[in-house]
Copies of this chain bind each other. A is one copy, B any other.
Amino acid sequence: MTNLEDPAAIDRTDPESYIAAATDVYRNWGRWGDDDRIGTLNFIDDAARARAAALVETGRTVSLSQPFDMDGPQKGWRRRTNPVHTMLDTGIDAEFGDQGFPHGIGGADDVIAMPLQCSTQWDGLGHIFDRGYAWNGRRAGSVVTSEGDQVTGIEHTAAKVTGRGVLLDMGAHLRPETGELEDGYAITVADIESCIAAQGASSAVGTGDILLVRTGRYARARREGWGEYAGGPAPGLSVTTAGWLHRTEVAAVATDTWGFEVRPNEFDVAFQPLHQIAIPNMGLTIGEMWDLDELADACREAGRWEFLLVAPPLPITGAVGSPVNPIAIF
């Protein structure tokens, strides 16, 4: 286990062996029964939600969602486009008097088309597979078909993603002068632990917590433009944090980056190895492209890094992910 958590011990030429070893020890298959559909979200129980709600003091509320519109970061990779929002009718139609409604009522309707992975989102458990297997040891092809996720669809988490949120502002902790980690920076267990120590007791992370990791990458995108935000180099969690995530028993983790884990990944030829370990093996729900900037300010102003977090996915039947507007309440 030590080796798996030591970034210096990674053999960059051999992701397969690392992944095989890591999944052997961090796999949670069967932990919540053969029929489980929600993985580590099981770590949050009603008592945990009640404790989280008890954290609320001032009622200050922060939305952690990026805007959903055509000016987003997507460039078409895997046919991920930005959301296309169009109007079916408008106030101009109403004012023009064309709508045919009685007694002066007018209306506007609208429609959206979007990949569920296009902006602030939860990755469902059907989003990633490991060597043909989905969460809890099911064959990938028996879970997610062209009809959608038949087993672990995001709708099963509709009422689950509420609990204690903890923000680790890794950007501010490691780069106090800018608040922003550089692309390619791999956040290690040591980094996490030193951040928790620096931020203090309110940032302790334990069973059932929803961990939010701010890298500062989104702040940079806002300032400088998206550039390669979607899929390009970025700071993020090191693959070596898998063990810490596993034993800490977090319910979910989210970051302000496109891909959650560090990019480029820590092997010469690789694609999102921490996803491969975390989602199908640990059953970990992962959030991406969250806006954690105002939250960081709010934490600093409140003098604490914990809060009630309510981040309900849309219960789209059979979806492998969902857009979300996560709400933090202080």
Which residues on B sit within 8 Å (CB–CB) of A160?
A: 61
From residue A186, how far is it (CB to closest CB) to chain B in Å? 17
From residue A264, how far is it (CB to closest CB) to chain B in Å? 12
CA distance A83 to B155 in the complex (A): 14
Which residues on B sit within 8 Å (CB–CB) of A68?
A: 155, 314-317
Q: Given A83-B316, A101-B271, A103-B16, A127–B146 Cβ distance below 8 Å?
A: no
- A316 near B116 (CB under 8 angstroms)? no
- A103 near B15 (CB under 8 angstroms)? yes
- A155 near B67 (CB under 8 angstroms)? yes
Task: Choose one: B56, B79, B129, B276; the contact of A84 (CB below 8 Å).
Answer: B79
- B139 near A95 (CB under 8 angstroms)? yes
Q: Given A59-B53, A129-B95, A79–B87 Cβ distance below 8 Å?
A: no
Task: Choose one: B52, B67, B93, B269; the contact of A315 (CB below 8 Å).
Answer: B67
- B54 near A56 (CB under 8 angstroms)? yes
A225 at the interface (CB under 8 A from B): no
Which residues on B sit within 8 Å (CB–CB) of A59?
A: 45-53
CA distance A214 to B98 in the complex (A): 34
A236 at the interface (CB under 8 A from B): no
Please tell me the number of chain A residues within 8 Å of chain B, measured between CB atoms.
117
**Chain B binder among A165-173, A191-199, A318-326:** A318-326
Which residues on B sit within 8 Å (CB–CB) of A312?
A: 63, 65, 310, 312, 325-327
Binary CB contact string for chain A from 90 to 127 against chain B (1 if under 8 A, 0 otherwise): 11111111100111111111111111110000000011
From residue A103, how far is it (CB to closest CB) to chain B in Å? 4
From residue A29, how far is it (CB to closest CB) to chain B in Å? 16
Looking at A66, A97, A108, which has the most chain B CB atoms within 10 Å of its CB?
A108
From residue A239, how far is it (CB to closest CB) to chain B in Å? 11
A21 at the interface (CB under 8 A from B): no
> Can you add 5 more A-B contacts, CB < 8 Å, to A91-B140, A105-B273?
A87-B148, A98-B146, A105-B128, A109-B116, A312-B327
- A-B contacts, 11 of them at CB < 8 A, read A50-B56, A61-B162, A63-B315, A69-B318, A70-B79, A78-B88, A79-B111, A86-B146, A90-B145, A95-B140, A110-B319
Sort A-B residue pairs by CB-CB distance and give the 6 closest, nearest first.
A49-B59, A91-B140, A50-B59, A91-B144, A53-B56, A46-B59
